[in-house]
Structure 1
Amino acid sequence: MIDIRPFASLGHADHGWLDARHHFSFAGYHDLRRLGWGSIRVWNDDRIAAKTGFPPHPHRDMEIITYVRTGAISHQDSMGNCGRTPAGDVQVMSAGTGVRHAEYNLEDEETTLFQIWIETDKPGAEPNWGMMPFPKEARDGNFQLLASGDPGDGVLSINADARVLGATLKAGDAVTYAADPSRHLYLVPSARVLVNGVAANARDGVAITGEAAITIGAEADAELVLVDAR
Structure 2
Amino acid sequence: MIDVRPFNSLGGADYGWLKARHHFSFANYYDPSRMGWGRLRVWNDDEIAAKSGFPPHPHADMEIITYVRTGAITHQDSMGNQGRTGAGDVQVMSAGTGVRHAEYNLEDELTTIFQIWIETDRPGAQPSWGAKPFPKADRSGKFQVLASGDAADEALPINADARVLGATLNAGETIRYPLKQGRRAYLVPAVGEVEVNGAVLKARDGAAIKDEAELVITAKADAELVMVDSL
Whether the TM-score (by the shorter chain) exceeds 0.5 is yes
Alignment partner of 1:131 is 2:111: no
1:206 aligns with: 207
The alpha-carbon deviation at position 180 of structure 1 amounts to 1.0
Alignment-mate amino acid for residue 181 of structure 1: Q
SS of the counterpart of 1:152? helix
Match of 2:91 in 1: 91
> 2:42: which partner in 1?
42
Structure 2 unaligned segments of length 5 or more: list them.
none
1:108 counterpart SS class: coil
Could you tell me how far 1:152 is from its partner in structure 2? Answer: 2.7
Counterpart residue number, 1:72: 72
Does 1:171 pair with 2:167? no
The residue correspondences of 1:1-230 to structure 2 (distance < 5 A) are 1-189=1-189, 190-230=191-231
Aligned counterparts of 2:184 and 2:38: Cα–Cα separation in 1: 6
Distance in structure 2 (CA, Å) of the matches to 1:43 and 1:97: 22
Residue 220 of structure 1 aligns to a residue whose secondary structure is: strand
Give a deviation string over 1:39-97, Cα, whole Å, max 9, x none. 00000000000000000000000000000000000000000000000000000000000
Cα drift, residue 212 of structure 1:
0.8
Measured in 1, the distance between the counterparts of 2:13 and 2:146 equals 28
Which runs of 5 or more residues in structure 1 are unaligned? none
Cα drift, residue 135 of structure 1:
2.4
Determine the C-alpha separation between the residues in 2 that align with 1:21 and 1:71.
18
Q: How far did 1:220 drift?
A: 0.6
Paired residues, number: 230
**What is the SS of the residue equivalent to 2:221?**
coil
Letter in 1 for 2:146: L
User: Structure 1, residues 123-173: CA drift from partner, whole Å, max 9, x if none?
Assistant: 000000000112221111110110000123221000000000000011111
Paired residue secondary structure (1:91): strand
Aligned-partner Cα distance in 2 for 1:95–1:193: 34
Question: Aligned partners of 2:72, 2:45: CA distance in 1, in Å?
Answer: 14
Q: CA RMSD in A?
A: 0.7
1:24-45 per-position Cα deviation (integer Å, ceiling 9, x unaligned): 0000000000000000000000
Between stretches 128-137 and 156-165, larger displacement belongs to 128-137
Where 2:152 maps in the other structure, the secondary structure is helix
Runs of 4+ in structure 1 over 4 Å off: none
1:137 match: secondary structure: helix
TM-score, normalised on structure 2? 0.98
Percent identity of the aligned residues?
71
